[in-house]
Amino acid sequence: MSEPDFLPFTRPSLDEETIAGVVEVLRSGWITTGPWNARFEAALSEYFGGRTVRTFASGTVTMEVALRMLGVGPGDEVITTPMSWVATANVVLAVGARPVFVDIDPVTRNLDSRLVEAAITARTKALLPVHLAGLPCDLDALYAIAQRHGLRVVEDAAQAIGSSWRGRRIGSFGDFASFSFHPNKNATSIEGGCLVLPDDADPALAERLRLQGVRRFGADGMDVDVLGTKANLTDVAARVGWGQLRQVDAFNARRRALAQAYCVALDALGLPARGVRLPVRDFADGNWHMFQIVLPESVARPAVMQGLKERGIGSGVHYPAMHLFTLYRAQGWKPGDFPHAERVGAGTLTLPLFPGMRDTDVGRVADALDAVLRQCGL
Give 353 or 372: the residue with its C-beta nearer to ligand PLP: 353
Residues in 69-98 at the binding interface with ligand PLP, rule: CB under 6 A: 84-85, 87-88
How many residues are recorded in the chain? 378
CA distance 171 to 212: 26
- Cis check: omega of the bond before 143, within 30 degrees of 0: no
Single-letter code of the amino acid located at 83: M
CA distance 372 to 378: 9
From the list 193, 273, 201, 265, the residue with the least C-alpha distance to 233 is 193
Q: How many CB atoms lie within 10 A of CB 216?
A: 10
Residues in 296-325 at the binding interface with ligand PLP, rule: CB under 6 A: none
Instruction: For residue 334, indicate whether it is catalytic.
Output: no
Of 55-63, 258-266, 268-276, 323-331, the segment contacting ligand PLP by CB under 6 A is: 55-63
Which residue lies nearest ligand PLP, judged by its C-beta?
59
In this chain, which of 159, 232, 234, 287 binds ligand PLP, going by CB under 6 A? 159
Residue 59 touches ligand PLP, criterion: CB under 6 A: yes
CB of 191 to ligand PLP, least distance (A): 6
Of 54-62, 118-126, 265-273, 291-299, the segment contacting ligand PLP by CB under 6 A is: 54-62
Q: x/- string (CB under 6 A) for ligand PLP, residues 337-366? A: ------------------------------
Q: Which entry of 125, 185, 230, 334 is annotated as an active-site residue?
A: 185
Residues in 165-184 at the binding interface with ligand PLP, rule: CB under 6 A: 180, 182
Backbone angles phi, psi at 241, to 5 degrees: -60, -40
Residue 255 touches ligand PLP, criterion: CB under 6 A: no
CB of 237 to ligand PLP, least distance (A): 11
Give 235 or 370: the residue with its C-beta nearer to ligand PLP: 235
For the chain, the C-alpha Rg in angstroms (whole number) is 21
Angle (nearest 5°) at CA 301 between 138 and 109: 5
Residues in 94-153 at the binding interface with ligand PLP, rule: CB under 6 A: 130
CA distance 152 to 63: 13
In this chain, which of 10, 18, 33, 60 binds ligand PLP, going by CB under 6 A? 60
CB 83, CB 109: distance < 8 Å? yes
Give 156 or 370: the residue with its C-beta nearer to ligand PLP: 156
- Strand, helix or coil at 253? helix
How many chain residues bind ligand PLP (CB under 6 A)?
Answer: 14
Strands 348-351 and 291-294: antiparallel
Give 159 or 163: the residue with its C-beta nearer to ligand PLP: 159
CB of 36 to ligand PLP, least distance (A): 19
Q: Is 343 exposed, middle or buried (0-12, 13-18, 19+ CB in 10 A)?
A: middle
Q: What are 195's strand-pairing partners?
A: 54, 178
Q: Which positions lie near ligand PLP, rule CB under 6 A?
A: 58-60, 84-85, 87-88, 130, 156, 158-159, 180, 182, 193
